[in-house]
Amino acid sequence: MARSDRREPRFGDDRLGDLRADPRERPGMPSAKRKRRGASADDALDDDAPRSAKTSKKRRRSFGLGGIVYWSFVLALWAGIGAAGLVAYHAAQLPPIDKLAVPKRPPNIAILAADGELLANRGDTGGAAVRLKELPPYLPKAFVAIEDRRFYSHWGIDPIGIARALTRNVTGRGSMQGGSTLTQQLAKNLFLTQERTVSRKIQEAILALWLEHRYSKDQILELYLNRVYFGSGAYGVEAAAERYFGHGASAVSLSEAAILAGLMKAPSRLAPDRNPEGAIERAAQVVTAMAQEGHITEAMAKLALARPAKARRDQGAGSINYAADYVMDMLDDTIGAIDQDIVVTTTLDRALQDVAERAVTEELDRKGDKFGV
């Protein structure tokens, strides 16, 4: 072939594009770099899908938790407003705080024999009022241990006691409980009726707060011990001690104090003269509670449990009550209305009176038919 007919390849010519060794470098074919870039974009899109799902789940979870917190706060706020309104409504049914006062205790008339022995108590309470310092230390502590062990730490209402009582009542474990503190019980005895309604419980709590603000703990406890009902017409520990044991509250033993404190659960059902077994069983619970709270030693508890108290036998009306009634009739004519505790000493000799009663009884047994009696 002639030198002039030789043709040199022109690589810039489009028609020679097919001469490129790598097909991917030919025109119209995507480059590897471009393809890889495209693949990376596709992979990124594929990776973003689960990431978006995860973010959505996190947002939903965050919104759900935040919503719960928000609505819980709203509900709590409205519940608080409702409770405040309820308390305000029932508080309005009570006398104004500045006019509220503890009712005066009805007077007691103590009628004594010539030697100073107590023959009878007359009055609505059945016994005189006593000071806390006149009582043996374990007597008030018995009431605190079994009725209100956090008495000296709460402010009239015991949220822990209320929660425990609600739990027991809902689960049905143990007997029904009200969760009332000693202060609430005192408020009920002083100002309210014995009905069991929500309204009365709210008023009881309000009055308990007022008592705690007005009086010291010892003053509240003293008021309680002098006003609470012990059954058999006895109001206050002095009347109860005389009624069940034949002596004053200042002379009660530990086992007798446990009996008296145990009466708060059910004064009529646990009366030691009518249900000695039930009274002793309840007293054992009181002694155990006192030991657990550290009010008495273990040795004192063992002794009290080994020697439970027994109520005195009811001697019946007899001539003593007739003599007491005669004294009351005389008082109406001599001093008129009685507005405070008084003591009346008579000339009655208990021993001679008993001898006279026996003599009359024996004579009537022998000659009753003759005289038609």
Query: Nearest 5°: phi and psi at 111?
Result: -105, 120
Task: Fill in the amino acid letter for 39.
Answer: A
Kindly report, residue by residue over 259-287, the tens digit of the pLDDT: 999 999 999 899 998 899 999 999 999 99
**Structure tokens given for 15:** 């028609």
- Domain ranges, ordered by start, for the chain: 54-92, 106-124+315-367, 129-313
- When pLDDT is averaged across residues 176-199 and rounded to a whole number, the result is 82
Q: Which residues of 28-49 are buried (b: 16+ CB within 10 A; e: fewer)?
A: eeeeeeeeeeeeeeeeeeeeee
- When pLDDT is averaged across residues 218-225 and rounded to a whole number, the result is 97
- When pLDDT is averaged across residues 66-81 and rounded to a whole number, the result is 76
CA dihedral in degrees (110, 114, 117, 123; nearest 10)? Answer: -10
Kindly report, residue by residue over 22-50, the tens digit of the pLDDT: 555 555 555 544 445 545 545 544 555 55
Region at 123 (left for phi over 0; alpha for psi -120 to 50; beta for the rest): left
Topology at the third CATH level for domain 129-313:
Penicillin binding protein transpeptidase fold (1.10.3810)
Q: How far apart are the C-alpha atoms of 103 and 127, rounded to whole Å?
A: 17
When pLDDT is cut at 50, 70 and 90, the band that residue 176 belongs to is very low
**Structure tokens given for 192:** 């309210």
The H or E element spanning position 365 is: helix 350-371
Query: For residue 180, what is the DSSP state?
Result: -
Nearest Cα to 345, choosing from 108, 122, 113, 107?
113
Q: How far apart are the C-alpha atoms of 113 and 91, rounded to whole Å?
A: 49
